[in-house]
């Protein structure tokens, strides 16, 4: 085994924990520094989910994806900053302070995998892992001008990923190029019997940058209310360039977009309410004051350990699951989710992929999204792919005022190769 030294640039606050020396071995990733989002378990390295409630927690095991990276010689150099437990779109909701966007230090890097995106965009690492629940890989990829893939749900093991919303969470690769994202996918897709949602579907693919004869569906809802006109223009120019390279553009509709965002947040918050119940001051984090009645000790520990946004989502999720409200909220959200899946299935009968903007705007200023609703609305274009479980990639396609804009490409279930091909076709043609 060899080792490499790592000296992160502290200007961006991209890392929570770093390793001054990282081991590397033989393999396809030999000598390559890789950053890991801090909600992915790493044996012997603190894993905090950017939360005070996990202070002092050091996992005794590696996540399946970390084991796979090590087998291929990757040098794990640190754990990246994030929105606490993955709950946010800016990486401002962190107990360790906000991450700054390397493109413009007054802007957010996106979230919740903002630390991973900033680490890649700044050149500190060549590759990173993020996790995506409603857009948490694609959003920061778009805001920081890198490539980020949310794989098909089940194609990458979630073993060792600290859960936010189990039916949506998916680990995925982030890098400066489509080629590196594709290389990481080859490493990450070994099946895992410890994850009941893991499906054996190895990825062995060299990106093909040809789009000749490809049918690209463009739902009008992806260019509707809330999408910045300048962002829409840049993305349309990117899609038009793919058309000039031989693709056929097909206008289409996705009616379920009208309620996809609301459905996703009800499901996310409900599952978070259940997942985060385990953080009680007994098994993880600073110990609760056991001299008090357990109910009071439990309440005080969670109030002190969780940030405002996490507490908000736990309370809303608990309400949605409570007696008398389950049918009104959670059951309806699941029915809406099925309509989103059906919309994708219908469209993929006539088109090969679907394209549109990744985010409705460019990266906003730090502190700009200070109310929850405006932050939640930022996820409008990314949540449909998450609800349906289809693969989706964000690739840089231009700028507005010097700030990056992402083109989002979504494909059929387990056709991650196809969305990577389309992203490679755009990337290799150069920025429009």
Q: Is the pLDDT of residue 432 over 70?
A: no
Can you tell me the mean pLDDT for 219-232?
97
Q: Is the pLDDT of residue 284 over 90?
A: no
Q: Is the pLDDT of residue 319 over 50?
A: yes
- At residue 325, the pLDDT reads 84
- At residue 421, the pLDDT reads 98
Classify domain 1-432 by CATH architecture: Alpha-Beta Complex (3.90)
Q: Is the pLDDT of residue 218 over 70?
A: yes
Q: Helix (H, G, I), strand (E, B), or coil: what is residue 14? A: coil
pLDDT in tens, 230-255: 999 999 999 999 999 999 999 999 99
Q: Is the pLDDT of residue 431 over 50?
A: no
Catalytic residue among 37, 79, 150, 369: 37
pTM: 0.96
Mean pLDDT of all residues in the chain?
95
Q: Higher-confidence residue: 281 or 96?
A: 96
Catalytic residue among 41, 51, 94, 112: 112
Q: Where does the pLDDT of residue 401 fall: very low under 50, low under 70, confident under 90, or very high at 90 and above? A: very high
pLDDT in tens, 367-380: 998 888 889 999 99
Whether residue 322 lies in the annotated active site: no
- At residue 188, the pLDDT reads 98
* Domains of the chain by residue range: 1-432
As a whole-number percent, the residues of the chain with pLDDT over 90 amount to 88
Q: How far apart are CA 75 and CA 25, in angstroms?
A: 8
Whether residue 70 lies in the annotated active site: no
DSSP string computed for 162-190: PPSSTTT-EEEEEESSHHHHHHHHHHHT-
Place of tokens 């992915």: 40
DSSP string computed for 226-254: TS-HHHHHHHHHHHHHHHHTT-EEEEE--
pLDDT in tens, 349-359: 999 999 999 99
Whether residue 291 lies in the annotated active site: no
Catalytic residue among 116, 122, 136, 256: 136
- At residue 430, the pLDDT reads 52
Q: Is the pLDDT of residue 197 over 90?
A: yes
Q: Where does the pLDDT of residue 300 fall: very low under 50, low under 70, confident under 90, or very high at 90 and above? A: confident
Angle CA(68)–CA(71)–CA(77) in degrees, nearest 5?
80
């Amino acid at each position: 085994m060899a080792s490499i030294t790592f000296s992160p640039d502290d200007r961006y606050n991209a890392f929570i924990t770093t390793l001054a020396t990282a081991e590397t071995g033989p393999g396809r990733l030999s000598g390559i520094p890789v950053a890991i989002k801090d909600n992915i378990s790493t044996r012997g390295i603190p894993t905090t989910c950017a939360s005070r409630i996990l202070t002092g927690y050091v996992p005794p095991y590696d996540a399946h994806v970390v084991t796979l990276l090590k087998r291929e010689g990757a040098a794990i150099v640190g754990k990246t900053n994030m929105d606490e437990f993955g709950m946010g779109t800016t990486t401002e909701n962190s107990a360790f302070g906000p991450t700054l966007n390397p493109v413009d230090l007054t802007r957010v890097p996106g979230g919740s995998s903002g630390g991973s995106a900033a680490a890649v965009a700044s050149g500190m690492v060549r590759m990173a892992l993020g996790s995506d629940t409603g857009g948490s890989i694609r959003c920061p990829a778009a805001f920081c001008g890198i490539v980020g893939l949310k794989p098909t749900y089940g194609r990458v093991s979630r073993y060792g990923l600290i859960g936010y919303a189990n039916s949506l969470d998916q680990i995925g690769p982030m890098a400066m190029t489509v080629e590196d994202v594709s290389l990481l996918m080859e490493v990450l897709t070994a099946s895992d019997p410890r994850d009941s949602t893991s499906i054996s579907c190895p990825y062995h693919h060299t990106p093909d940058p040809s789009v000749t004869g490809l049918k690209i569906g463009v739902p009008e809802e992806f260019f509707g209310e809330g999408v910045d006109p300048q962002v829409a223009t840049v993305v349309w120019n990117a899609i038009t360039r793919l058309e000039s390279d031989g693709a056929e553009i097909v206008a289409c509709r996705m009616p379920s977009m009208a309620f996809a965002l609301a459905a996703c947040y009800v499901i996310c918050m409900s599952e978070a309410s259940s997942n985060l119940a385990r953080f009680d001051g007994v098994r993880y984090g600073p110990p609760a004051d056991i001299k008090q009645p357990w109910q009071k000790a439990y309440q005080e520990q969670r109030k002190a350990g969780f940030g405002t946004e996490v507490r908000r989502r736990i309370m809303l999720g608990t309400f949605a699951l409570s007696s008398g409200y389950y049918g009104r909220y959670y059951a309806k959200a699941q029915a809406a989710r099925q309509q989103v899946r059906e919309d994708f299935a219908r469209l993929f009968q006539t088109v090969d992929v679907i394209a549109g903007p990744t985010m409705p705007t460019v990266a906003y200023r730090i502190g700009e999204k200070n109310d929850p609703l405006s932050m939640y609305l930022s996820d409008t274009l990314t949540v449909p792919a998450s609800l349906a479980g289809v693969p989706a990639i964000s690739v840089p396609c231009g700028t507005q005022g010097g700030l990056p804009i992402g083109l989002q490409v979504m494909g059929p279930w387990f056709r991650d190769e196809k969305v990577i091909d389309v992203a490679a076709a755009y990337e290799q043609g150069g920025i429009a």
